[in-house]
Each structure stands twice: as structure tokens, then as C-alpha cells.
Amino acid sequence: MVLDRSVRLDRVFHALAHPARRAIIRQLTGGERNLSELASPLRMTFPAATKHVRVLERADLVRRRIAGREHLCRLHAPPLRDATLWTEQFRKNWEARFEALDSLLVEMESEERSRPRRR
Amino acid sequence: MPLESLQISTPTDTTIVLTRTFRAPRRRVWEAMFTPERMRRWMLPPPGWTLTVCECEARVGGSLRLAWKSEEADPVMTLRGKFTEVVPLERIVHTETMALGSGQTIGSLVETHEFAETDGVTTMRITQAYESKEARDAAIGSGMDQGMEAGFQQLDALLARPS
């Protein structure tokens, strides 16, 4: 189970590590697009765009259906939710520490103010 | 974005960089970060754990020792390190090794803290250098970078919708 999850996450993070693939995902948040619609704003050849879409498919971030001669891609978001939840824990732990540090710094400031100054 | 907002990035395969600003001069941030009785206040233990040992000698060759004990059973967790570089108020580097009570090592890293102050606001940058990509990924749970985070923010609305 744990291994499955980590293999799955590896694929998601690998898929997201390329700017072109992140751009594809952003486009797909607007709804279903065919391959040439995805390729043109990236100034990319059709085969290059197809390659990126395949990587996204392997990560299960994109699902593709064939309608006539068109390959229509849509975003499949659940793996992303999984990935963000995982990293959020690391962020939350540090945010909690730094918020505690914020309050400590405020306290230290008032300590310094009330302390008689030495010349 | 609020001033204090925490930035997390992974500039290389084995590092994590945390950047955070504090509304305080760096002299005060430095003291809060490396004085044991101050550290106890922000070194929040995981739920169910208590910080039992907190020693920190912020000088070259000085040691860093932390220990936590679980409220549930008997396990103890320790962190031991050495300061290898200290430029007061500017930069500090220490090693750290986490281990279980049994002595079994969990992992090691090198942590670098850098401080810069502008108009009474201090920016602290912590660079954690892990032994391998696997260890780094295990710590953060991913290989997330700023670009991805920007992407995620745009996806927030979508993710909130049930699929």
C-alpha cells in the first residue's frame, strides 16, 4: 500500500516537474481540449505534446478519449489532491513552529523594553 | 501574500529551502533560534511527544542535542549535531542525525541558516541538505517546487469541487 502510494506520487511529481506539462494542466483546468489545442500555445509539435500528455496519463493526471479523429484530454484531479495533502504536512509543521517563533519574538521585544537599559 | 508567508522550494534533488521573514531584528531572531530556553518555545514536538532535552552551543565545534519522549509507550527520539560554521547574526551551519532510542539512525542532514535584515525585518533562509534524493523526498513527502506550487494555487478551486 505504502509502496503503491509512493510510486504513484513519484509519477505525479515527475509529471509536474516539467513546465510544459504544468502548462497543459493549467489549460485543462478550463475544460476538455484536443491535442492540437494543447500543442499550439506551447509552440510545440504535435508529437512533442503527445509525449507530454502520455507522461501525464501515466501519472493519471490526464485522461484521454477518442471522439472520431480527435483525441480529447481532460484533467483528472484526485492524484493532485493526494500529492498536495502529503506536502502540506511538512509545510504545516514548519508554519506552526514559525508562528510560535513569531509570538516568542514579540515577547522578547517587550522583555527588552521593560528591562532597564545599561549605558 | 502576507509578509511572514513561508516559502518552500527544492532547488536541487537533495535539498529543501525554507524562507520566512520575521518582524524583528536578526539579533533577536538569532537569540530565539539558538538559545536553549528560547528554542523550547518554538521547537514544537509532534502531537503526543514531549521535548525532554534541549541543548545548543552555537559556536564552531559546539553541539546540538535534542530528545523527545512519547507519552504513549516508551520510545525516545534524539537529534544530535555539531556546529561546523558560525558567523554571528549571519550564518550558521550544523549537522544533525535523528535516531531512535535504540540507537537506530533515522537520517542525517546538514542545515544552514542564513539571516538578512532590512528595516528591522529579518529574512531567515534554512537550507536542509539530505544524504540522498530519497531521504529528501521522505522528509518533504515530495519534490515540490515553487512553479508547482503556483500551479496548485490555480487548481485550488478545481480541487475543492468533488470529482
ipTM (interface pTM): 0.79
Instruction: For residue B117, give the nearest of B52, B22, B48 by alpha carbon.
Output: B22
Q: Within 10 Å of residue B146's Cβ, how many Cβ atoms?
A: 13
Give the pLDDT of residue B3: 60
pLDDT at B44 over 70: yes
Q: Do A76 and B42 touch (CB under 8 A)?
A: no
Q: Within 10 Å of residue A79's Cβ, how many Cβ atoms?
A: 18
Give the pLDDT of residue B152: 47
Domains of chain A: 2-77 (1.10.10.10)
Contacts of A79 (CB under 8 A, 6+ apart): A8, A12, A59, A60, A61
Which of A95, A104, A108 has the CB atom closest to B6's CB atom? A95
Question: Which position has the higher pLDDT, B55 or B73?
Answer: B55
- Quick one: average pLDDT of B124-136? 90
Give the pLDDT of residue B154: 43
Mean pLDDT of chain B: 83
Instruction: For residue B140, give the nearest of A117, A29, A85, A43 by alpha carbon.
Output: A85
Give the pLDDT of residue B151: 43
SS3 B109: strand
Give the pLDDT of residue A1: 35
Residue B14 CA to residue A13 CA, distance in Å, equals 15
CA angle, residues A20, A24, A29, in degrees to nearest 5: 150
Contacts of B156-163 with CB under 8 Å at 24 or more apart are B158/A29, B158/A75, B158/A77, B159/A77, B159/A80, B159/A81, B159/A84, B163/A76, B163/A77, B163/A78
Entry pTM: 0.64
Residue B75 CA to residue B70 CA, distance in Å, equals 6
% residues pLDDT > 70 (chain B): 83
Q: What does the pLDDT look like over B59-102, one tens digit per residue? A: 999 999 999 988 877 778 899 999 999 999 999 999 999 888 77
CA atoms within 13 A on the CB side of B121: 7
Cell (9 digits) for B48: 503526543
Give the pLDDT of residue A19: 85
Q: How close B141 gets to chain A, by Cα (Å)?
A: 5
With beta carbons less than 8 A apart as the criterion, state whether B113 and B20 touch: no
- Chain B interface, best mutation among A80, A98, A107, A110, by max B CB count within 10 A: A98
Give the pLDDT of residue B70: 84
With beta carbons less than 8 A apart as the criterion, state whether B83 and B94 touch: yes
Question: Which position has the higher pLDDT, A67 or B144?
Answer: A67
Q: What does the pLDDT look like over A11-59, one tens digit per residue? A: 887 888 788 998 898 889 889 999 999 999 888 898 999 999 999 999 9
pLDDT at A62 over 80: yes
Which of B42, B43, B159 has the CB atom closest to A77's CB atom? B159
Return the CATH fold of B7-160: Alpha-D-Glucose-1,6-Bisphosphate; Chain A, domain 4 (3.30.530)
With beta carbons less than 8 A apart as the criterion, state whether B138 and A90 touch: no
Q: What does the pLDDT look like over B94-125, one tens digit per residue? A: 999 988 877 788 889 999 999 999 999 999 99
Chain B contacts in chain A segment 12-41 (CB below 8 A): 13, 16-17, 19, 22, 25-26, 29
Sketch the domain layout of chain B as residue ranges: 7-160
Mean pLDDT of chain A: 85
Give the pLDDT of residue A30: 85
Q: Which residues are paired to A38 by β-bridges?
A: none
Q: Do B151 and A22 touch (CB under 8 A)?
A: yes
